[in-house]
Structure 1
Amino acid sequence: MSTPDQTVAVVTGAARGFGREIARRLVARGHRVLITDLDADAVAAAADELGATAVTADARVPGDHARVATAAAELGPVGVWVNNAGVLRAGQSWEQPEEDIALQVDVNLLGVVHGSRTAVRVMRKRGGHLLNIASMSAHGPVPGLAVYAATKAAVLSFSTSLQGELDLARLPIRVHALCPDAADTALVRDEQESPDTALLFSQRGLLTPAAVADAATRLLDGRRIVRTLPAHRAGAMRIAGALPRLGLPVLARLRAQGERRRTAGT
């Protein structure tokens, strides 16, 4: 693997939230960092603050990923690629607008697939690290966020399967999937008015973007494929997924607890 001062790091959806904080840490490590976002003004402002390069891009569009890879390669060899762009829409799945369902699938899942394919192409000769941001919801059911949870479960499955494919092809790329619990980001706060987000607030407090970014950069330091933050919450989610008849009633109680915190503004 190349050292940071020799390589370029790409972070998608980095105008704010996790992506911005991950990019901040990669800049501090000496990478030449290229960040992307659909919001041109926001990504330009973030790049100015971080000392990064900004590219306006839509994670849903394969051609935009290719354009990002070309721009990154002009800065140097790409050694890190972080697929962070994501969206969340709360609501009962049978009542959600079709455009909200399509948006979540296209950004959260297909955006990761398109980005990962591009990252493999650009890093396959020299090697590198590919980090996909999944979610705690990848491990089990999240009533009220069924479509979102489905996309994140697919991201986790895709990431581990992709690592197997890379190993079989003997390509020197390490895939990582980070599964953070709900965090204090615009992604969550923008949906806080919906009762269907209650389960997100069932933990004692929302994670900070900085804590998630620290976990992300630690993943990039090693060979570990999956990390869940915090680890103790993953067990309950996995049990709920494996034994839903037992787990769903437990999640209903957690949802009631989260509803009190949601309405209190926690």
Structure 2
Amino acid sequence: MNATSRSVAVVTGAARGFGREIARRLLTRGHHVVITDLDDQAVTVTAKELAHAGDGLVVGIAADARVAADHRRVAAAAAELGPVTAWVNNAGVLRSGPVWDQPEADQTLMVDVNIMGVIHGSRAAVEVMRDRGGHLLNIASMSAHGPVPGLAVYAATKSAVLNFSTSLQGDLDLARVPIRVHALCPDAADTALVRDEQASPDVALLFSQRTLLTPGAVADAAVALLDGRRVVRSLPTHRAGLARLGALIPRVALPVLALLRKQGDRRRTARA
């Protein structure tokens, strides 16, 4: 890998879904892009697929979002390509079910990937971008804004991502580090992450919207955030308002969510 003056972006969890589409758009903008994923074969295949998406280089690296040293290794590889100006913490895991029934391993996995993965990635991003500045984007979820029965642990991890992101921006501002932090909170999308859990009635609330978002629409919103100073964006906005209301008055919201869950379950089963 030869260093150049072209800017470099890192996207974690980019072998599929949101990450792959975000990487595609960054390549079309002229960035070199480093994509990571736990699945070595998948990240290699995706890197080859994206090779002609733009005139920048795309490098695939097998990395575990749970491991801080892996993020540092990715940051070092990205810096060899040129100045790193964007970092997207996209890697995430979803497992459904009531907390008392979920395997402890699933709960630990969600916490380690969804929270610690973002923390480790953010630290690596700050270290590699702090001198020149740049943009750090953390992919949260609509579930960050309020209660999501059936996905309690997942929702808790995404709430943590949102609060971490806004708090980190405050720390960077106080330290006068020229990095902008962004958090994107998309509603459920038609990705493997959701499809893998679709057979479970516990994901019914994800299907309470009329249609699932597309990975492309989420990627467009993600890249748009990287263009500005906005810290938090929810997609779609009106669903975020309802979710926040649920957090403010859960005694009223939880019965409403139960009705939405029934509606979502009909849509979930119709898609099966």
1:157-202 deviations in Å (ceiling 9; x for gaps): 0000000000000000000000000000000000000000000000
Counterpart of 1:26 in structure 2 is 26
Shift of 1:63: 0.5
Query: TM-score, with normalisation over the residues of structure 1?
Result: 0.98
Other-structure match for 1:46: 46
Over residues 61-94 of structure 1, what are the superposed CA-to-partner deviations in whole Å (9 max), with x where a residue is unaligned? 0000000001101111100000000000000011
Equivalent residue number for residue 206 of structure 2: 200
Q: Is 2:70 aligned against 1:98? A: no
The aligned residue for residue 172 of structure 2 is 166
Q: Distance in 2 between matches of 1:14 and 1:38?
A: 10
Match in the other structure for 2:14: 14
* CA distance in structure 2 between the aligned counterparts of 1:165 and 1:250, rounded to whole angstroms: 37
Q: Which amino acid aligns with 2:28?
A: A
Counterpart of 1:10 in structure 2: which amino acid?
A: V
Give the equivalent residue in structure 2 for 1:133: 139
Q: Deviations over 1:104-132 (max 9, x none)?
A: 00000100000001100000000000000
| Residue type at the aligned position of 1:18 | F
TM-aligned CA deviation for residue 49 of structure 1: 1.2
Within 5 A, what are the aligned runs for 1:77-96? 77-96=83-102
Provide the rounded CA distance (Å) in 2 between the counterparts of 1:93 and 1:264. 26
* 3-state DSSP of counterpart to 1:207: coil
Q: Report the counterpart of residue 117 of structure 1 in structure 2.
A: 123
Aligned to 1:237: 243
Question: Which residue is 2:222 aligned to?
Answer: 216
User: After TM superposition, which residue ranges in structure 1, 4 or more long, deviate above 2 angstroms?
Assistant: none
- Listed as ranges, the matches of 1:175-186 within 5 Å are 175-186=181-192
Q: Residue type matched to 2:236 in 1?
A: P
What is the DSSP-based 3-state SS (H/G/I as helix, E as strand, rest coil) of the residue aligned with 1:36?
Answer: strand
- The total of aligned residue pairs comes to 262
Q: Helix, strand or coil for the counterpart of 2:212?
A: coil
Give the residue type in structure 2 aligned to 1:126. Answer: R
Which secondary structure does the structure 2 equivalent of 1:82 belong to? strand
DSSP 3-state at the match of 1:90: coil
Identity of aligned residues (%): 75
Q: How does 1:250-261 map to 2 (within 5 A)?
A: 250-261=256-267
1:144 aligns with: 150
> Distance between the aligned counterparts of 1:238 and 1:84, measured in 2?
23
Q: How far did 1:6 drift?
A: 2.5
Normalising by the residue count of structure 2, what TM-score does the alignment of the two structures yield? 0.95
SS, match of residue 15 in structure 2: coil
RMSD: 0.7
Whole-angstrom distance in 2 between the partners of 1:148 and 1:78: 30
Aligned partner of residue 6 in structure 1, secondary structure:
coil
**Corresponding residue for residue 54 of structure 2:** none
